[in-house]
Amino acid sequence: MKINIYYGGRGVIGDPSLFAIKKMMQVFEELNVKVQKFDLYDQKSQIATLHQTLKDADGIILASTVEWHGVGGYIMNFLDACWLYGDKEKIANIYMAPVIMSTTYGEKEAVLDLKNAWETLGGRTCDGICGYISDSSELENNKKYIELIEKSAENIYRSINQKNTCLPASNRVVTQKVNTTKVSLFTQQENEQLSELVSDETYVDQQKKDIQALAGFFKDKLGSHKKDNIEDYIDAFTSCFKVIPGEHKKYKLTLTDSGKTIAIEIDNGDVSVKQADMAYPDVEFSLTSEFLDEIIAGRKTFNGGFMEGSITSKGNFALMRKIDEFFPFMK
């Protein structure tokens, strides 16, 4: 039999949960149980991979001290890794016993929280031990307390060794019904490799730099594409122009995202479209290149854009509505 102990405290001198698990380890060794202790504060950069240590474990102990509120971040980070990357089929056969000491308040709530978390993961739970210890010396010097800790270790051993049957837990059933666990696109081996990469700070930093470099590259590409689009816009307006005899109008389009302007001058049956400023247009439109793309694709209109607030305009309102007649992109 093998029992893993995951200690989530800060490792400070006088931590009562440290004393408790030390006594438990002595009992387990006397019972010929292989025990391995993981100090999460000392292995915080590898927490994402510690779920792999569950593979050969028959039972585990989650130990911590409540110093002000809850069990602290190290235990929760470990449980997060089990949820994200852990082998749920293996976890389903592992018993968990909580060992929680409190120097303030909340040891019973912390025990309940850990049991709920482990059962939600699909695992089994057994009774551990918890208590309020304001000073570790009163625990270390009290023979009855020590006997109680040793007795608790024996009970944990019996529960794991005899594989005590557990009644179904409602949180496990509800989790299965609503299927809150995301379906992984990776195999278990790929999940383990991914968790190793997640815990490698150097790798993560390099990935962030690569993403930033790619973002800059595509941003530059997008910027150059915007410049080339001006000629495309001119060609689109010229080819879609509908002749309306006797009309003489001037329209100015300002692209707010690039600052470019397109001047459109209609003179009876002729149209002039060019990238230039226009001193006295009849109507001036301000819109983004993206929205202008929508208009040219026939999915939007100038009037519709004005009504929804995507386009602002200045000038003669009646002439503003006329531009969609001159350029009927929407068939």
What is the distance between the alpha carbons of residues 82 and 76, in angstroms, rounded to a whole number?
Answer: 10
Q: Can you list the domains of the chain with their CATH numbers?
A: 2-181 (3.40.50.360), 229-326 (3.30.1050.10)
DSSP 234-265: HHHHHHH----TT-EEEEEEEETTT--EEEEE
DSSP 266-304: EETTEEEEEE---SS-SEEEEE-HHHHHHHHTTS--HHH
Nearest to 67 by CA among 55, 59, 75: 75
Note whether 16 and 103 are within 8 A (CB): yes
pLDDT of 319: 86
* Segments in the chain below pLDDT 70: 171-201, 203-204, 215-228, 331
pLDDT of 178: 47
Which parts of the chain fold into alpha helices (H)?
16-30, 73-85, 88-91, 107-120, 136-140, 143-161, 170-178, 188-199, 201-240, 289-296, 302-308, 317-326
pLDDT of 180: 46
In tens, the pLDDT along 198-234 reads: 666 676 677 777 777 776 666 555 554 444 578 999 9
Each residue of 53-90: b (16+ CB within 10 Å) or e? ebeebbbbbbbbbbbeeebbebbbbbbbbbbbbbbeeb
> Model-level pTM?
0.57
